[in-house]
């Protein structure tokens, strides 16, 4: 992964889209995907594999690209393209989840499982997260960071939130304003 630290803590689909900051791609290699997967592991049902392949990376990046385009349109109240929705549906179909039933000795236990390679399973999970966010009425509250050099998206829980991260962009903007005020005076 580059020197940039991924922005995490937004809805999972936004965390995925935010792996494309203005300064490059945080999912450029299979190792980058694995590092991001480790960061998001507590939010994902899919265990982080030892090795991530180029095919795994391609599956996840395809979901990211389709989710980014669909979210960009839907958050602006425009219809998403049929191709983006079809691609997200296909990613989910490539590794459908089932609730597998088993008797544990005293009760029926349910375990959610997917078939397929680790990357296809992750891509399906991320496509489901994108589908849930696209269908959520809160999607219209997604905003782009107001910092000049930032393209990150966030779900505004507060109407006055302006930056993807107060400690990243917010602090940088405040420091720049302070510098401008004191330099001008």
Do the strands 142-144 and 97-103 form a parallel or antiparallel pair, or are they unpaired?
Answer: unpaired
How high is the pLDDT of residue 99? 92
Percent of the chain surpassing pLDDT 70: 90
Kindly tell me if the per-residue pLDDT of 185 is higher than 60: no
Examine residue 2 and state whether it is found in any structural domain, yes or no: no
Q: What is the pLDDT of residues 10-41, one digit of tens each?
A: 999 999 999 998 888 999 999 999 999 999 99
What own/partner pairs with CB < 8 Å and gap ≥ 24 does 139-147 have? 139/71, 139/74, 139/75, 140/74, 140/75, 140/77, 141/75, 142/14, 142/71, 142/75, 143/75, 145/169, 146/173, 147/172, 147/173
Q: Is residue 25 part of a domain?
A: yes
Which has more pLDDT, 73 or 170?
73
pLDDT for res 179: 65
Instruction: Identify the bridge partners of residue 111 per DSSP, sorted by sequence position.
Output: 100
Residue 125 has a pLDDT of 95
Task: Report pLDDT for 134.
Answer: 97
| 33 within some domain | yes
Q: Count of domains in the chain? A: 1
Q: Which pLDDT belongs to residue 2? A: 44
Q: Is residue 50 part of a domain?
A: yes
Contact status, residue 4 vs residue 31, Cβ threshold 8 Å: no
- We report the CATH number of the domain holding residue 25 as 1.10.3300.10
More confident residue, 89 or 175: 89
Please list, in sequence order, all residues whose beta carbon lies within 8 angstroms of the beta carbon of residue 168, skipping any fewer than 6 positions away: 7, 150
Q: Is residue 108 part of a domain?
A: yes
Flag whether 16 is in a domain.
yes
Give the global pTM. Answer: 0.85
- Predicted pLDDT at 4: 64
In a domain, 7, yes or no: no
Domain residue limits at 169 = 12-184
Residue 74 has pLDDT above 80, yes or no: yes
Q: What is the pLDDT of residue 53?
A: 96
Report yes or no on 62 lying in a domain.
yes
In which band, very low, low, confident or very high, does the pLDDT at 184 lie, cut at 50, 70 and 90?
low
pLDDT in tens, 143-178: 998 888 788 899 988 788 887 877 678 666 566 666
Average pLDDT over residues 62-87: 97
Q: Which residue has better confidence, 45 or 116? A: 116
């Amino acid at each position: 992964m580059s020197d940039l630290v991924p922005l995490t803590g937004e809805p999972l689909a936004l965390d995925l889209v935010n792996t494309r900051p203005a300064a490059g791609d945080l999912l450029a290699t299979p190792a980058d995907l694995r590092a991001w997967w480790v960061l998001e592991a507590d939010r994902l049902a899919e265990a982080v594999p030892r090795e991530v392949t180029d095919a795994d990376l391609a599956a996840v990046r395809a979901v990211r690209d389709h989710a980014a385009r669909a979210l960009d349109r839907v958050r602006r109240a425009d219809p998403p393209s049929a191709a983006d929705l079809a691609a997200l549906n296909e990613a989910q179909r490539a590794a459908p989840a089932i609730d597998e039933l088993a008797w544990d000795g005293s009760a029926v236990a349910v375990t959610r499982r997917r078939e397929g390679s680790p990357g296809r399973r992750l891509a399906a999970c991320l496509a489901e997260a994108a589908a849930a966010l696209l269908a959520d009425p809160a999607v219209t509250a997604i905003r782009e960071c107001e910092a000049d050099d930032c393209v990150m998206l966030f779900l505004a829980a507060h109407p006055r939130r302006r930056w993807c991260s107060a400690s990243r962009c917010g602090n940088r903007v405040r420091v720049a304003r302070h510098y401008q005020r004191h330099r001008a005076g």
